[in-house]
Amino acid sequence: MSVAIPLEAYLRAQRAIGRKLLVPYITGGLPGWEHALRAAASAGADAIEIGIPFSDPVMDGPVIQQASQLALEAGATPISILRQARDLDVGIPLVVMTYYNTVHHAGHERFAQELEAAGISAAIVPDLPLEESGPWCLAADGAGIETVMLAAPTAPDHRLPLICARSRGFVYSVGLLGVTGERTTLAATATSLAARLKAITDVPVLVGVGVSNAEQAVEAVQVADGVVQGASVVRRLLEHGAEAVAEYVAEVRAALDHVPA
Amino acid sequence: MTLMAEPSATGRFGEFGGRFVPETLVPACQELEAAFREAWADVAFRDELGSLSREFAGRPSILTECRNLGAKLGIRLILKREDLNHTGSHKINNVLGQTLLAKRMGKTRIVAETGAGQHGVASATAAALFGLDCKVYMGAVDVERQELNVFRMRLLGAEVEAVHSGSRTLKDAVNEAMRDWVATVGDTHYCLGSVMGPHPYPWMVREFHRVIGDEARQQSRERYGCDPDVVVACVGGGSNAMGIFSGFVDLPVRLVGVEPAGGAAVGRGVPGVVHGMRSYLMQDEYGQVQEAHSISAGLDYPGVGPEHSYLASIGRAEYPAVNDAEVIEAFQLLARAEGIIPALECAHALAWIVREAPNMQGKYVMMNLSGRGDKDVAQMMEILG
C-alpha cells in the first residue's frame, strides 16, 4: 500500500539539488492507466497527477474531455480510482485533480480522508477558487492533504500573494488563457506569470496548461521550477498506450535535465 | 428579511449560489459584478435600457385573459405575454441589459449558450444591434430539433457552433461557452442566458427580468384591482420564473415553478456544484451530473438557478413537475382554446395549471407565457404526425 510522500517537501528537495520538476497528468480509470502511471514514474516524473474524471470538465480541452468520458464509460468512480491508487506504491507523491462537485458530493472531510487513506498527498480542484476554498482547505489541512492553488494570467498583482499564501505543494501557474490542450507554441503568458509568481513566493512554481512538448517544457523552466504535462501525456496514452507515455516522459525528463541550473 | 434582494457578498442566496469558476475567470466575474452594480445604479443606463425595451423589444408586454380556457378550467387565467416581445420570448430583457453592459465595459464580442435557441436568437439580435461579434454554442441534439432558430441566428450574423460533447444539450453548451470565455476573457463578455452560473449572473439576470414582475403586478392592479392568487411559470434555469416571481414574492401570492419530469433539479436533485454555482442538481451517487430529458430543449437542464433552490428550501415557492405527455396536451389546448401557440417550455406551466385546476376553482391564476411556439411547430408536426 502507498504511503503518502509529502508533496511540497519532496519538490523542494528535488529543486534544491538542481532538478527541474516534471509532473505528468494521467486520467484515472482509463484502461491501462495504472500501467502508464508506473511507467511515467520510472521514466523520471517527480510527482504524478491522477485525474478523477468528472462529467462536466470546464477547464479541459478535447483530449482530456475524451479521456474523462472514456473513463466514466469504463465505469470509473472516485472510489474505484482511489482503491487502485492505494496499491501503486511508486515512490513519488501522488496528486489528485478533480472538479469540485466530486469533493462536494462526497463531503469535504470524507473526501480528504479517502485521499489520505489512498496514499494521496495533495489535491488540485480547478473550479474551486480562493474565495470558495475555505471549507475544503480546512478539511484537507486536517487530513494532511496539501491543496495546490491555481494562479492565472488574468490575476491582478494584489491577488497573487493571496493565492501563494494558501497554496501547498506547489503553485499551479496556468500557462495561458484557455483550457487544457496542446498548442504549437508556448504562450508568452506562461513565462510572464511564472516570473510574477517566482518574484513573490518560495513555494515551487509549476507551469501547466498548454505546455505541449519537451521544447516548451524547457522554455517554461527558464523561469519556473517545473511543468505539469496533461494533454500531451493523455493523448499518447489514448493513441499508443503506456509505453508511449514512458517514452515521452523520458524524453521530457532528459530535456529538462540538460537545462543548466 | 426581504426576499429577492441582493445576494450576500459571496453571491449566496442562503446556502446556494457562489462563484465556483476556474481562477482565470475570477477577475472577470469580479469586474462584471462591479460594472453591473455601478450601471444598475446609474440613471442614464437604466434610461437607455428602458428606451430599448420600449422601442426595440416592444415592452410593456400585455396581459391577456384566457376566457375560454378559464371557463373550462373554472379559474380566471391571465397570461403575461412575454411571447410578444421582439425575438419571441422574455430572453430579450436580459440580453439587452447584458449587451448594453458589455458595450459599457468595452467588450467587442459576446458568447452565449442556448438550448431551444431563444436566448441564442436574442443574443444574436442584440449583437447585431450593437455591432458586437457573437458566437452561440448549442448542443448538437438541439441544433437538430431547433434548426429554424439556428438559421435565424446565422441570418442575424452570429456564428453557431454545435457542441458534440456530453449529452449534446444545454448543459454541454454552457460548458463550451465557459471554455470559450476562459480563452477570450479579455475582449469577450459571456452573455449567460438564465438566472444561473457564477455570481453575479443569477442576481444580474434576475434584475434584468424584474421588469416582467413589476409590469405584471401593476397591470393586474390597474385592470383587475387585485393581485393574482397564484403565479405560475416554467423552470429550466429559471429566468422567466424569477422575472415574474420578483413582482409578487413579497405579497401573499402562491408561487409555482414547473419543471419537466426529466429535468426536475429541485424536485429530484440534491445540492451540487456545476456551472459556477451551488444549487439543486441532478447527479449520480458519485456527483456526476446526470443528463436531463425533456421534450423542450429550453428546459433540458439538470440544474436550476440558485435563487430557485433558495426559494424552494425556505418553502416560499413550490416546484412540481409535469411529464412530456401532459405538455403535448397543454400545447394543443392553448392553441385551440385561445388561438395562442405557446413555446413548449411554457406549455409545462399550463400543463400544471390544467392538472391542478380542480384544486384552484375560482382562483385568479397568472401564467408567464415566456415564449411563442413557432420554433416548436416542426417538432410538434413530427410528434403529432
Q: What is the ipTM of this complex?
A: 0.96
- A206 CB-near residues (< 8 Å, 6+ apart): A21, A23, A170, A171, A172, A173, A224, A225, A226, A227, A228
Residue with cell 510572464: A192
The pLDDT of residue B154 is above 70: yes
Sign of the torsion angle spanned by Cα atoms A110, B313, B37, B211: positive
Q: Measured between CA atoms, how close is A254 to chain B, in angstroms?
A: 31
Mean pLDDT, chain A, whole residue set: 97
Tell me the mean pLDDT in the region B318-325. Answer: 98
Q: How confident is the model at residue B145 (pLDDT cuts 50, 70, 90)?
A: confident
For A7-257, CATH number? 3.20.20.70
Q: Is B348 a catalytic residue?
A: no
C-alpha cell at B329: 396536451
pLDDT of B167 reads: 85
Query: What domains can be seen in chain B, in order of their start residue?
Result: 12-51+91-201 (3.40.50.1100), 58-89+210-384 (3.40.50.1100)
CB contact under 8 A, B24 and A132: no
φ, ψ at B377 (rounded to 5°): -65, -45
B21 chain-A contacts, CB cut-off 8 A: 127, 129
Q: How confident is the model at residue A259 (pLDDT cuts 50, 70, 90)?
A: confident
Best residue in B8, B23, B168, B185 for a mutation probing chain A (most A CBs within 10 Å): B23
Residues 228-257 of A with CB under 8 A from B: none
Report residue A241's pLDDT band, with 50, 70 and 90 as the boundaries.
very high
| pLDDT tops 80 at residue A261 | no
Q: Is the dihedral angle over the CA atoms A174, A143, B275, A84 positive or is it negative?
A: positive
- Give the span between the Cα atoms of B247 and B250, in whole angstroms: 8
> B155-174 burial string, b = 16+ CB within 10 Å, else e?
ebebebbbbebbbbbbbbbb
How far is residue A252's CA from residue A44's CA, in Å, rounded to a whole number? Answer: 9
**Local structure of residue A115 (DSSP, 8 states):** H
Strands (E), chain A: 21-27, 48-51, 94-97, 122-124, 146-151, 171-174, 205-208, 226-229
CB spacing of A104 vs B28 below 8 angstroms: no
Catalytic residue among B90, B119, B189, B199: B90
Taking residues A133-149, what's their average pLDDT?
Answer: 98
Which residues from B are below 8 Å from A when comparing CB atoms?
Answer: 10, 18-28, 165-166, 171-172, 175, 178-179, 182-186, 271-276, 278, 281, 283, 286-289
Q: Which residues, other chains included, contact B42 with Cβ-Cβ below 8 Å and sequence gap of 6+? A: none
Helix A134-143, helix A108-117: angle, nearest 10: 30
Task: State how far the Cα of A39 lies from the Cα of B42, in Å rounded to an integer.
Answer: 61
Segments making up each domain of chain A, as ranges: 7-257
Contact B324, B285 (CB under 8 A): no
Please return the burial class of A80, using the count of CB atoms within 10 Å of its CB with bins 0-12, 13-18 and 19+: middle
pLDDT in tens, A49-101: 999 999 999 999 999 999 999 999 999 999 999 999 999 999 999 999 999 99
Mutate to test the interface with A, among B20, B161, B168, B190 (most CBs of A within 10 A): B20
Per the CB < 8 A criterion, the answer to whether B150 and B138 are in contact is: yes
Across chain B, mean pLDDT equals 96
Among candidate residues A58, A9, A36, A221, the one with its CA nearest the CA of residue B166 = A58
Alpha-carbon distances of B86 from A77, B17, B119, rounded to whole Å: 47, 31, 12
